[in-house]
Amino acid sequence: MKKLSSLGFKAAFVGPEQDPKILQDIERGTFTFVYLSPESALTTERWRNTLESEIYQESLIGVAVDEVHCVTEWGTSSNNKNRSAFRVWYSRLNEIKSLVDVPFIALTATATKKTKDKIFDLLELRNPNQIVESPNKRNVRYTVQKLDKSLPIVENFRCLVNELKSKGKGTTRSIIYCQTVKQCAHLFRMFELELGLSMYDGEVNPQNRLVQMMHSGSPESVKSHVLEQFADSGKCLRILIATIAYGMGVNCKGVQRVIHFGPSKSIDAYLQESGRCGRDGKQSDAILLYNGINAKAADAEMKKYLESSTCRRQSLLKYFGIRNLECPPGHLCCDICTNSCQCLGGFCDMDLYLPIGNTEEAQGRTVSHEQLLSLKTELNALRKTIVTDFPI
């Protein structure tokens, strides 16, 4: 909405914090773009009457449902029969058609064929025209890493703690997605205890934190601060620990690493969330950390992705109907493809996994590309000798 206003368009939103005068102007049809939640549009008599008013019946040209994957993700309880839907009115947006007779447009960055079919059914979209763009982001490489349950949580993120201590504001900007608010708070407190004064860029002030958390229960002041910080790649906030409360419609700049501490519930959600890194086109990493416990809430497709032994990118995108994909080479693609990477003459030394546990550097020395090739030649010669001397 702010973006539209900055471009000279008249735009406003309906909400309890909105100025009453602006709400009256919305009713009069003063604004070109009006943002409503499903609950406002369908459960509030004032706004149902507004949509049925003469000015809206004559002037409204269309209804756009943004982030339409939420229709299935939030509006239904299909993933858990024992729980009610999070926001049931998302799945009843089709009722708007009884109020206004205008075209619908449904928008999302990620939706598998199964999800699209559900959306079309719930919104009663019969044979809609589809404009599809590939969700493949070639500059994002994918890694899946199984955790050792015996290690303390802090050891899973020791490398990030060390990076913050040594680089401060120069730390790679990252988002760590947690599955619950409790997990989010626990992880934030862990960083706070480990970092001490290194938690801040300069003066000890919440506005100067290098690490922050955001979830549905965060104060509005914290949410506004996070959104402001992540809208500018030069700001001090480097690591955001969040639930999916940080997500849709946000302007996140300079994020080059998204870490999932436990898998998303679905492939749709995972591609949506991991896609928040690399928006500037720079090489970025989507790293999924999991164990048997935190993978329980994932659906069957997501669990299958965790166990896949083939290219991660191909495994993800096949659910979107994309096959025979030309992937980035070797370690620029995923952890699986790194195993067969041919850079450095087949001696690729890239490790896409987060260093976990004891991250102290092992003793060793740097060798040149020529030395690696020489070693490979010598090892091949030794292998031939062994095979010759000891035939099977």
Residues 189 and 114 in one domain: no
Residues 95 and 191 in one domain: no
User: 51 is in which domain, residue-wise?
Assistant: 36-122
Residue 83 lies in a domain: yes
- The length of the chain is 392
CATH of the domain at 318: 3.40.50.300
Kindly state the tokens that stand for 147. Answer: 């955790």
Query: Contact, 190 vs 216, CB < 8 A?
Result: no
Q: Which amino acid is at 342?
A: Q
| Distance, CA of 286 to CA of 273 (rounded, Å) | 9
Residue 324 lies in a domain: yes
Residue 354 lies in a domain: no
Residues 86 and 161 in one domain: no
Three-state DSSP state, 213: strand
Residues 213 and 96 in one domain: no
Residue 117 lies in a domain: yes
Number of independent structural domains in the chain: 2
| Distance, CA of 99 to CA of 383 (rounded, Å) | 77
| Distance, CA of 305 to CA of 286 (rounded, Å) | 14
Residue 367 lies in a domain: no
Ranges of beta strands (E only) in the chain are 11-13, 33-35, 63-65, 104-106, 140-146, 174-178, 211-214, 239-242, 257-261, 284-290
Residue 134 lies in a domain: no
Residue 357 lies in a domain: no
Residue 146 β-bridge partners: 290
Q: Which amino acid is at 340?
A: S
Supply the DSSP string of 348-362, one letter for each residue: -----SPP-S--PPP
Residue 159 lies in a domain: yes
Domain endpoint, select from 59, 93, 122: 122
How many CA atoms within 13 Å lie on the side-chain side of 130? 14
Kindly state the tokens that stand for 33. Answer: 């773009």
Domain endpoint, select from 122, 154, 171: 122
Residues 253 and 157 in one domain: yes
Which residue from 59, 27, 21 is spatially nearest to 44, judged by alpha carbons? 27
Residue 354 neighbours by CB distance under 10 Å: 19
Residues 106 and 253 in one domain: no
Local confidence pLDDT in tens for the 392 residues of the chain: 888 999 999 999 998 889 999 999 999 999 999 999 999 999 999 999 999 999 999 999 999 999 898 888 888 765 555 556 778 898 899 999 999 999 999 999 889 988 999 999 999 999 999 999 899 999 999 999 999 988 898 999 999 999 999 999 999 999 999 999 999 999 999 999 999 999 999 999 999 999 999 998 999 899 999 999 999 999 999 999 999 888 766 778 999 999 999 999 999 999 999 999 999 999 999 999 999 888 998 999 999 999 999 999 999 999 998 888 899 999 999 999 999 999 988 888 899 999 986 544 444 566 666 677 777 777 777 765 654 444 44
Residues 161 and 113 in one domain: no
| Distance, CA of 270 to CA of 177 (rounded, Å) | 10
Which residue from 271, 348, 337, 270 is spatially nearest to 309, judged by alpha carbons? 337
Residues 202 and 312 in one domain: yes
